[in-house]
Structure 1
Amino acid sequence: MSRPSIPASVLRAAVRQARTTLVRKYSTPSGLGNLFVPLVILVVLFWVRDADFSDGLVTAGGYVFAGFLGFGVVAAAIMGVAGELQTEREDGTLLRAKAVPHGMTGHLLSKLLVTPVDALIPVVPAVVGAALLLPEGTMPTGVGRWALLFVVFLLTVAAMMPWGAVLGAVFRSMMGFAWAMIGIYVLAAVSGLFFPATLMPAWAQWLVQATPLYWIGRAFRAVLLPEASGAVEIGGSWNVGLTLVVLLAWAVVGLLVAPVLLRRMARRQSGSLVAAARERVMQRGY
């Protein structure tokens, strides 16, 4: 029995939709505002470029920059995807996609194309600025290390995108989604994304290792920071292989869970739900 394939027309439609989305997003003031975040990070890097901790083993600037790259992926792949699905569910976009043959498939494929670009656009100016500001040895120096950095970037996007879809499918109101985003910000602040997890108590170190954000930060640090800096990590080394395997596991589990929830969400979409959401927004503002 042959497996169902995606028609070429659906793939072409997904590419067109992705291109239109990106052009529309980054030709408006709100889209260009995404470039403001790298400027803020570069200002922070300028002030901490000479700071270090753990007796000079770790540069503060390197940790901040690696954390920014990791959180940029989280923002685009989790918060961006979840927020868009929430908005599209309430404004009727998903309902219209559902009414077209293969419409939901094409719509989700377009997000697979848009999300890595969304995550990459703020990274490029930040990488260029960090290469000029941070001490020598913080940025990759060879083609192999740059290639590994790109692999880590793609793997973290793949690991987090399904979970953004899960959040978008689970939360049915913008208020619930807002609380979920607050939780992600708190998790990012305490998960060791921006500082060595070994500075926390032993019980907290076990807890943060159960979150993908810790492993995302560790993956970027393993590529960007000197080998000696791995001494302040949990386990006393970078252990790049284990880090990539953990991220791959998060991606696989997410890819198994997300389609189930998205199909259930699509089945529940109806004109009455869209009308109720619009009525709620007009009355409450959210």
Structure 2
Amino acid sequence: MNPTLSAVRAGLIRGRIELRQTLTTPQDLFSHVLPSVIYVAVMFFTRGSTLPGTDFSLGSRTLASLIGMTVAFSGVMTMMMTLAVEREDGTLLRAKAVPGGTVGYLVGKMVMVAAMTLINILIFLVPSVFFLDGLAIGSVSGWLTLLWVLALGLVTMLPLGAIFGAVLTHPRNAGLVTLPLMGVIALSGVFYPIDGYPGWLQTIGHLFPVYWLALGTRAALLPDSMAAVESAGSWQHLETLGVLSAWAVVTLIAAPIVLRRMARRESGSTVAVRRERALQRAA
């Protein structure tokens, strides 16, 4: 069998095992699902509010956008923190010692994080459709749109998180990525339309995949009449497909390259030094 295919197959098995471990470990499960429970509470208390200038539920629009934001934030942050932690404890070094181990490791992490992200989305999506008004949940085309947007979003954001995790020197430096990511999310119209921003800020927001992720999930779950609220006055399906596909290609190509280069710099001595420093900080 082709070595790359063997590594991918091993990664799929690894991802399934890690997913089962996460779902059966109460502490890990709680940390994953807590944000989704909070989202449900937020949308419940905003169900009576309306989008400025319309009579449409603010909670319904927020729900649609939150799906895209969850893919972006969970994909980047969970992947990044996992790689940063496991680089420090030597897990990546052990993966490097196995033929195709780096690719298998990356595939396994992507499978696990993607599955948990989808589970988290279901946790706040399912109850929300029962108390939010205006969602186009009866449209088959809408659900198909949601599927391809989520698939492209995950394929884009998970490798991007792996890239950040590979270049992050220590888990404590996560703020160097978290704060800019929150800024990008704020520019992406997740909670309110971005029409109120200056034109140059709107242009910057359109460059990042988070905007298109949120737009795509809104296009899937909101009625067509709500497209008029968007900056272009339409759902821009083709533009969403094109931008997310371009980002997916770039991140999928870059992630294994960056991860392999990082792994080549890893050795038993570097892991031992980091472990010693960690023990000194804990002392």
TM-score, scaled relative to structure 2: 0.92
Q: Does 1:104 align with 2:109?
A: no
Alpha-carbon offset, residue 78 of structure 1: 0.8
- Aligned with 1:122: secondary structure? helix
Q: Does 1:238 align with 2:235?
A: yes
Q: 2:89 aligns with which of 88, 91, 112?
A: 91
Alpha-carbon offset, residue 216 of structure 1: 1.2
More deviation, 141-150/154-163: 141-150
Post-superposition Cα deviations, 1:119-170, rounded to whole Å, max 9, x if no partner, equal 10111121211110110x3142133321221111111101111111110111
Post-superposition Cα deviations, 1:64-107, rounded to whole Å, max 9, x if no partner, equal 11222112112321111111111111000011111122222221
Q: Distance in 2 between matches of 1:228 and 1:215?
A: 18
The within-5 A match list for 1:1-286 is: 5-8=3-6, 10-33=7-30, 34-56=32-54, 58-135=56-133, 137-285=134-282
Q: Distance in 2 between matches of 1:50 and 1:152?
A: 28
Alpha-carbon offset, residue 7 of structure 1: 4.9
Unaligned runs of 5+ residues in structure 2 are none
Question: Structure 1 residues 44, 99: CA separation in 2 closer, same or farther (over 3 Å shift)?
Answer: same
State the percentage of identical aligned residues: 36
Unaligned runs of 5+ residues in structure 1 are none
- Aligned with 2:4: secondary structure? coil
Post-superposition Cα deviations, 1:29-53, rounded to whole Å, max 9, x if no partner, equal 2222122222211111111112212
Alpha-carbon offset, residue 221 of structure 1: 0.9
Aligned 8 A contact 1:116 1:154 in 2: no
More deviation, 173-182/37-46: 173-182
Aligned 8 A contact 2:57 2:132 in 1: no
More deviation, 10-19/219-228: 10-19
Question: Structure 1 residues 12, 158: CA separation in 2 closer, same or farther (over 3 Å shift)?
Answer: closer
TM-score, scaled relative to structure 1: 0.91
Paired residue type of 2:261: R
Aligned 8 A contact 1:57 1:229 in 2: no
Question: Structure 1 residues 187, 171: CA separation in 2 closer, same or farther (over 3 Å shift)?
Answer: same
Q: Distance in 2 between matches of 1:199 and 1:7?
A: 48
- Aligned with 1:209: secondary structure? helix
Post-superposition Cα deviations, 1:194-214, rounded to whole Å, max 9, x if no partner, equal 211112222211121122211
Question: Structure 1 residues 84, 218: CA separation in 2 closer, same or farther (over 3 Å shift)?
Answer: same
Q: Distance in 2 between matches of 1:161 and 1:72?
A: 12
Paired residue type of 1:197: I
Aligned 8 A contact 1:139 1:224 in 2: yes
What value does the CA root-mean-square deviation take over the aligned residues? 2.0
